[in-house]
Structure 1
Amino acid sequence: MDYQAVFAAVEKTCEDNLSVLCGPPESPLSPVAERLVACMRQIQEHGRALGPVVAGFTAVFHHYDLDAQTVGNGYRSLVKIVLSCLLHILHKARYIASNYQGAFFRAEHNALEMEAYCSALTQLRAMLHLAQRIMDDSERGQLFPPHDDELTGRFVQEYSSMHKACFYGRCLGFQFSPALRPFLQTVVISMMSYGETYGKQQSGLGLAALSLLTSGKYVMDPELRGEEFERITQNLDLQFWKSFWNLTENGLITGFNRMASKQVQVNFTFTVPPLTLRLPLASDPSLSISVVPPVAHWGPGPVHMRLISYDLREGQDSEELLALSRAEPAPVPRLPWVQRLPRSPSLVVHFHGGGFVAQTSRSHESYLRRWSKELGVPVLSVDYSLAPEAPFPRALEECFYAYCWALNNCQLLGSTAERVCLAGDSAGGNLCITVSMKAISTGVRVPDGIMAAYPATLIAMDVSPSRLLTLIDPLLPLGVLAKCLNAYAGVEYQTAAPAACGGTLSALGRDTALLLSDLTQGASNWIQSFLDPTRSTQSTRRPSQAASPPPAAAAACLIDYPEGFEPLRSEWLSVIQRLSSPVVRNPFVSPLLAPDALLKGLPPVHIVTSGLDPLLDDSVMFGRRLRATGQPVSLTVVPDLPHGFLSLSQLAKETEAATAACMARMREVLRLEEPAAAAESEGPVSFVFTACIKIKASETNRGVKQFVGERAAA
C-alpha cells in the first residue's frame, strides 16, 4: 500500500475525531475526551514527523536486500511495522469518530486503546531514528555498521532505558499475523504467571497448575500485563528462561503435541558412547581420518540423539541400534508381520533451536514428524549439551560427532545416506553451518546441503535495524537474546556435568502434594490481585528481584533525537552484559565472520526466515557473504511471523506455509519430487516479503480506499 495514503488517511481521521470530540467551543470536555484529544494531536505530530522519514527509508531500502528478487531487510521491517501501527490507529480512530456519541460506546476502554497505540507509535518513531543512525554509520548495503564497541554500548544503553511495556499490553503482537495474537497473549500471560511462582519448591505439572491461579489479573488488566512483562524480561536471570522454555518438555504438553501431529512408526532416543570414529577422507576415500568424541569442559562423554521415521525401514529395529536405547520395552517391537521398507537414499540430520540454552528434540517433535512423513526420509535429531553449563565448543563438538556417527552408521538409521541434509532452526541453524565448516576443516564428507531456519550467524551484540525489533518482540527481547549469546560464548559459564532429566510422572506425586499445600495461598493472591493489582506485583517478587534499579530518567541519553522529541522511558533498567570475549569473533561461533576460504567449501545453503525476525539481518548478510564467494545460497523471507515459527506450524495457515517452504528447500537438497497432490491443493504460494501492507476487507480498508478516491477525484 502507498505509505503516503496511510499518513494522509491518519491525518484526516485525526481531524475528524478532533471535530467530534471537541464539540462546540463553549462546551467543556470530559476527562476521557481530553485524553482522546491529546492522543489525536500527538498522533498527528508523530505522523507529520514520520512521513519524511519513511519516505527516506523507502527510497533506499532496496539497496540492503539480498537481491532484486529476494526483498527483505531490517529497514523494510521497521517501515512495515510503523505502517501496521498506523493502520491499527486508523481503524480505532474511525471507530471512535463514528461511535463516540453512541449509548454503548466504552469511553474508558477506547481511550486506553488509543493511548497504548499512541505510546507504541512514539517508541517506533524513536526506533526509526536509531535505524537512521545505523544507516548513516554504515556503508551502503551493509546492515551491520563496522564493529564499534562504543556505538554498540550506546545503543544497548538506549534500549535499556526505553519504555517497552506498551508493546506487551494492548498492542501485543500487533505486527504479526492476526491468527498468532491469541497465542502470543497466552505465552506472555503464562510467562508472567510462571515468574510469580518461579523459585517455589515444585516443578512441572504442579508449578504450571499453580501458575493458573495468578493469570487472571493479567487477562483482565493489559496495562499491568505490559508493565510486569517488561520487568520480567529486563531483569530475571537465565535460569528462569531455561526453566520456562523447558516447560515444552513437559510430558502432558508433548503428549498433546504427539496426538495433534503426524503419527510415526519410529520415534525413540538413544545414546552413542564416546568412541573414536574412522571416516574416509572426502578428497581421497582410500584414506581415513579419526574423529574423536566431544571432550570440551568435562572430557569425553556420550551423545544423545532421537530417531524419527514415518515408516519402519531396514536397520531401524536392529539389535545394534536398539541396544543403544535404554527404553523398556524396546521402542521398536520386532514383529514379523510389520512391513519394513528398504533403506531411504536420503537422511536429515537436525539440530534443534532454543538459544543454545534450552529445549531438546522433544520440543520440536511436531514438525519433525511432519518432515519425516512428507519427505519420506528418516530424521535424526541431536540432543546436544546446553549452555551455560556447556558453552562453546561443547555443542558444536557433539553435533559434529553425531553427524560423523550418522555417516558411519546410516544403515542403522534406515538410510544409505546418498544424500544428507543438515536442518536446524535458530541456534540449530548456526550449528548446521558450523558443523559443515568443521567437516571442511577436518576433511570428512560435507553434507549435500543445509536448510537453516532463522539462524543466528553473528553471536555478538552488534546492532542492526532488524535487531532493533528486540525492543518490541515478545518472544526474543534483547535482554533474553543477550543472556543466550553470553551463555553460549562462556561469559556465564557454570562448571557442571550433564544431568539426566527426571520423568514427569516421577515428579507428579511431589508436585501434587506441594500444589495442595500452596493452593490456598495462590487463590488468595489471585483474588487480592483484583482488589489491589500493585499488591500482587510487589508481594510476589523474590528477594533477588526486590532491589529497585535507578530511575531511567537519571540515565544519560547518548542518542541525539530531533528537537522537541524524546522517547518514553522505562522505570526498569535492563542489566545487559555486553559480550567482550574474543570467542564471539571465532568463525565457528559467528559464521558471518568466517574467512572466504572456509565459506567456499560450504554446500548449498538455504535460509528461511521471517521479515519480522530480529535476526533477519544475520540471514541477509550471511547470504551476501556466500554470494560474494560464489557459493550457492537461497533466502526465503516469509511475512508477518515471529522468530521460532517452525514450532508454531500448527497454529495458522501462515506458519503452515512457512513450514512448507522449509520442506521445499530440503527437497531440493535431497532431490525429492514435490508431491503432486500437495502441489495441486495448495497452489502457488509467494514467500517474498514486501513493504506493502495487506489489508483485509474491513472498515479500515474501505476508509482508506474511500479517502484515496476522494483525493484522486479532487
Structure 2
Amino acid sequence: MNNLKKWALKIISAPHISLKKYYKQYRKILNVLNPPSEPIYKMLDHKIMVDDREIPVRVFIPKANPLSKVLIFFHGGGWVTGNIDSYTNVCANMANKTNHIVISVDYRLAPENPFPAGVEDCYYAAREIFSKPQILGCSQEDIILIGDSAGGNLAAVVSLMARDRGEFLPKKQILIYPATNYDHSESSPYPSVKENGTDYIMTSKRIQDYMDLYVKNEEDRLNPYVAPILAKELLNQPKTLIVTAEFDPLRDEGEAYGIKLQQFGNDVKIYRMKDALHGFISNPLSSDDTDKCYEIINLFLNDKNY
C-alpha cells in the first residue's frame, strides 16, 4: 500500500464517534448509504417461523443460468448493525457472481437482542433451509454457509452448533474476514489487532465496542459460540474457505482459526487479500478486491485449486 493511501486512511480512521451511544443512528446511515442498485433477476422476501417468532429472509436468484445450489448468507455489522436491506447490493452481486441462489438472513441485532439471540436465529434459519432443500430444487450437499465479518463468525458458529446438535451439517462454509476471538484490546494475542487497529477505518476499538454490545455477560465471551477459536476441539467441520484482508485487525485470528481447523483434520483453504481492508466486499470502491475474492470463492465452490 502506498504512503499516500496510508495517510488518507489514517485521517479517515482518526475520529471515533461512540458506537455504543450512537449505534441506532449508525444503522440508519448504513441504510441510506446502501440503496439497492445492483440489477436483480428476481428477489423474494420470505419469513421463517420459529415457534411464534418470524425470521425474515431475502432470496436472490441470479440473472443468468442459476445453479441449483444455495448460499445461506449472514451479514456483517458487528452483530449490531446491518440488515437484509443494507446488504441487498452485496447479496445480489454475490448471486450474480457465483450463479448460486443467495438467502440472506435478517437475524436479531444486539444490544436489544444480545447473544445468543442473533446466532440462534441464524441456526434456526439454516436448519429450516437444510430440512427442505427440495423447495429450492437442490440437495443438502448443495447448501453452503457464508458470512462476512460478524457474519463470518455466525457462519462458523452455526457449523459448530450443527455438529453439536446433530440436526444437519453443512458440507462447506466460506468465512470472509471473520471475527473468531473475543478480545480486541491491547491484550489480544494476535499482532494484527495492534498493527492494523488504528489506521485502517475498522479500528480495534470499534470491534471491541461491537463485542461489548453483543455479549453482555463477561463469562459468555469464553463460549465457543461467541469465539469459535476457543472451541476445545473442532472435529467434523465443513470444508472451509477463509478469506482475510491484509490491513484488517481481524486478519490473524481469522487465519489462526483456519489453522486450528486444519489441526483437527478439516479441509481448509486460507487466502489473504493483499492490500485489502476490512469490509471490502461491501465497499463499492474496492471492486478489484471484490472481483478477486469472488474468483477465489468460485474456485472453492467448484472444488478447484488456486
Say whether the 8 Å CA contact 2:26–2:81 is kept in structure 1: no
Once the two structures are TM-superposed, the CA of residue 248 in structure 1 deviates from its matched residue by: 2.6
Please identify the structure whose Cα radius of gyration is greater: 1
**Which residue of structure 1 aligns with residue 207 of structure 2?**
481
CA distance in 2, matches of 1:267, 1:460: 38
**Which residue of structure 2 aligns with residue 437 of structure 1?**
160
CA distance in 2, matches of 1:363, 1:447: 26
Q: Structure 1 residues 306 and 172 mapped into 2: Cα distance closer, same or farther (>3 Å)? A: same
Does 1:426 find its partner at 2:149?
yes
TM (normalized to structure 1)?
Answer: 0.40
Once the two structures are TM-superposed, the CA of residue 619 in structure 1 deviates from its matched residue by: 1.4
**Which residue of structure 1 aligns with residue 170 of structure 2?**
447
Does 1:267 find its partner at 2:43?
yes
**Which residue of structure 2 aligns with residue 460 of structure 1?**
183
The residue type paired with residue 636 of structure 1 is Y
**Which residue of structure 1 aligns with residue 241 of structure 2?**
606
Aligned match of 1:587 in 205, 224, 245? Answer: 224
**Which residue of structure 1 aligns with residue 250 of structure 2?**
615
Say whether the 8 Å CA contact 2:239–2:266 is kept in structure 1: yes
Aligned match of 2:35 in 238, 243, 254? Answer: 254
Aligned match of 1:637 in 272, 285, 290? Answer: 272
Q: Structure 1 residues 652 and 397 mapped into 2: Cα distance closer, same or farther (>3 Å)? A: closer
Say whether the 8 Å CA contact 1:350–1:380 is kept in structure 2: yes
**Which residue of structure 2 aligns with residue 358 of structure 1?**
81
Count of residue correspondences: 303
1:237-292 Cα deviation digits (max 9, x unpaired): 42424422442323x8414xx2xx2x2232132222224xxxxxxxxxxxxxxxxx
Does 1:308 find its partner at 2:60?
yes
The residue type paired with residue 163 of structure 2 is I
CA distance in 2, matches of 1:649, 1:659: 14
**Which residue of structure 2 aligns with residue 107 of structure 1?**
none
Say whether the 8 Å CA contact 1:246–1:359 is kept in structure 2: no
Once the two structures are TM-superposed, the CA of residue 474 in structure 1 deviates from its matched residue by: 4.3
Does 1:240 find its partner at 2:22?
yes
CA distance in 2, matches of 1:311, 1:652: 19
Aligned match of 2:103 in 374, 380, 388? Answer: 380
**How do residues 173-212 of structure 1 correspond to structure 2 at under 5 angstroms?**
173=9, 188=12
C-alpha RMSD over aligned residues: 2.7
| Aligned partner of residue 358 in structure 1, secondary structure | coil
Say whether the 8 Å CA contact 1:378–1:414 is kept in structure 2: no
CA distance in 2, matches of 1:270, 1:473: 40
Say whether the 8 Å CA contact 1:623–1:633 is kept in structure 2: yes
Say whether the 8 Å CA contact 2:242–2:255 is kept in structure 1: no
1:52-77 Cα deviation digits (max 9, x unpaired): xxxxxxxxxxxxxxxxxxxxxxxxxx
CA distance in 2, matches of 1:622, 1:476: 20
**Which residue of structure 2 aligns with residue 38 of structure 1?**
none
Say whether the 8 Å CA contact 2:177–2:243 is kept in structure 1: yes
1:548-591 Cα deviation digits (max 9, x unpaired): xxxxxxxxxxxxxxxxxxxxxxxxxxxxxxxxx11111011111
The residue type paired with residue 630 of structure 1 is G
**How do residues 209-608 of structure 1 correspond to structure 2 at under 5 angstroms?**
229-230=14-15, 232-233=16-17, 236-250=18-32, 253-255=34-36, 258=37, 261=38, 263-275=39-51, 301-310=53-62, 344-461=67-184, 462-463=187-188, 464-490=190-216, 581-596=218-233, 599-608=234-243
Query: Structure 1 or 2: larger helix share?
Result: 1
CA distance in 2, matches of 1:244, 1:656: 27
Say whether the 8 Å CA contact 2:197–2:205 is kept in structure 1: no
Q: Structure 1 residues 378 and 603 mapped into 2: Cα distance closer, same or farther (>3 Å)? A: same
Does 1:658 find its partner at 2:293?
yes
Say whether the 8 Å CA contact 1:611–1:638 is kept in structure 2: yes
Say whether the 8 Å CA contact 2:235–2:265 is kept in structure 1: yes
Q: Provide structure 2 residue ranges, at least 5 long, that are not aligned to the other structure.
A: none
The residue type paired with residue 303 of structure 1 is I
